[in-house]
Amino acid sequence: MTSIRSRLLTTALAATMAVPAFAQGELNLYSSRHYDTDERLYSDFTEMTGITINRIEGNADELIARMEAEGDNSPADVFLTVDTSRLERAKDAGLFQTVESEVLEARVPAYAQDDENQWFGFSQRSRIIFYDENDVDTPPATYQDLADPAYENQVCIRSSSNVYNQTLTGALIAHLGEEATLDWAEAVVSNFARDPQGGDTDQLRGIVSGECDIAVANTYYFARAIRKDVDGLSDSRDMIGWVFPNQDSTGAHMNLSGGGVAANAPNPDNAVRFLEYLASDQAQEYFSAGNDEYPAVPGVALSPSVAELGFFKPDDLDAAVIADNIPAAQMLLNEAGWE
């Protein structure tokens, strides 16, 4: 249940955003979020506050390198990206500053924000298991079950270079240790239906085509096929079932999309205001409705496409712990022969 303190802070946030004249100025946003639906987030923020958003968009690694090269002269006010590892990489490079915000502290769960308040998660995707309901009577109930020899030649999943697989493996390292996770990865490789290829949508299409019976993908790729037509998937989605893994133990792994205020932000007050807006009910609902993501803020309404997937127990492992395990995860996956 939302606390009285949280409700008061939310009310205060809405009130401060109601009068554009109080927030004239600009915001320079560096973003690796590549979703057209985010346009609504930006235009609504400008309409509410009067703050003009100037955007630089690109690959997360390229934007991080650009901010490093710009140094003290960087015009960036906010950096947004779509995975925890790059948020942590930006922090380690000194590209964020600590943010003092009661609104963000109250609304963003502790596991979805940096311990030093340098970055915050604003939307989530769970990495879950999908399966062919016609061919799989007993789907894997956990990530560990993907290593079961019973699923030999059935599993489709992306390459080891994919950050979503790296963060999942980083979480397993935290829960199981490196040795057990290496054993797991080697066994999963033995169960591959094909060499890793393509994105998450391609893994789901593999079920439709019959190339694989089981696929691992982020929730929003399937939810998108519920909301609108996705070629090679939407027309056949009724044959696909899904499992939120590890519901009796650690919970389903979560990938965060988030951001922070740049270390040398020329407009720091506007930057904080933008992050607070992203944590508002309005923006949180749009993350779900516009891009089929789960809101990071508890209690926010889900869009119909996301609600169809259902509620579940998430893994509340600290995102910073996962990010710290990424180098070990990559080495471990390489050792396991995961291409």
CATH number at residue 189: 3.40.190.10
71 shares a domain with 19: yes
Q: Residue 314: inside a domain, yes or no?
A: no
Structure tokens at 101: 């915000």
Can you tell me the distance from the alpha carbon of 266 to that of 220, in angstroms, rounded to the nearest whole number?
Answer: 34
88 shares a domain with 41: yes
Q: What is the pLDDT of residue 24?
A: 64
Strands, E assignment, the chain: 25-31, 51-57, 78-81, 120-132, 155-156, 214-218, 240-243, 254-261, 294-295
73 shares a domain with 20: yes
139 shares a domain with 177: yes
Span 17-31, pLDDT tens digits = 433 334 469 999 999
Q: Residue 197: inside a domain, yes or no?
A: yes
The helix/strand/coil state of 167 is: helix
Can you tell me the distance from the alpha carbon of 224 to that of 79, in angstroms, rounded to the nearest whole number?
Answer: 25
Q: Residue 17: inside a domain, yes or no?
A: yes
Summarize the confidence of residues 313-337 as an average pLDDT: 93
Q: What residues pair up with 294 in beta bridges, in sequence order?
A: 124
Question: Taking Cα atoms as reference points, which of 324, 288, 295, 291 lies closest to residue 108?
Answer: 295
Of residues 1 and 145, the one with the higher pLDDT is 145
Q: Residue 81: inside a domain, yes or no?
A: yes
Q: Residue 142: inside a domain, yes or no?
A: yes
Can you tell me the distance from the alpha carbon of 205 to that of 226, in angstroms, rounded to the nearest whole number?
Answer: 14
Structure tokens at 135: 């061919």
Q: Residue 165: inside a domain, yes or no?
A: yes
Q: What is the pLDDT of residue 40?
A: 86
Structure tokens at 318: 């600290």
**CA dihedral sign of residues 293, 302, 114, 31:** positive
231 shares a domain with 241: yes
Span 198-211, pLDDT tens digits = 999 999 999 999 99
Q: What total number of domains does the chain contain? A: 2
213 shares a domain with 99: no
323 shares a domain with 182: yes
Domain assignment of residue 218, given as a range: 126-252+319-335
Q: What is the pLDDT of residue 4?
A: 28
Q: Residue 216: inside a domain, yes or no?
A: yes
Q: Residue 313: inside a domain, yes or no?
A: no
183 shares a domain with 239: yes
98 shares a domain with 76: yes
259 shares a domain with 119: yes
150 shares a domain with 15: no
pTM of the model: 0.86
165 shares a domain with 50: no
Strands, E assignment, 219-321: 240-243, 254-261, 294-295
Could you give the count of Cα atoms lying within 13 Å of 321 in the half-sphere of its Cβ?
A: 15
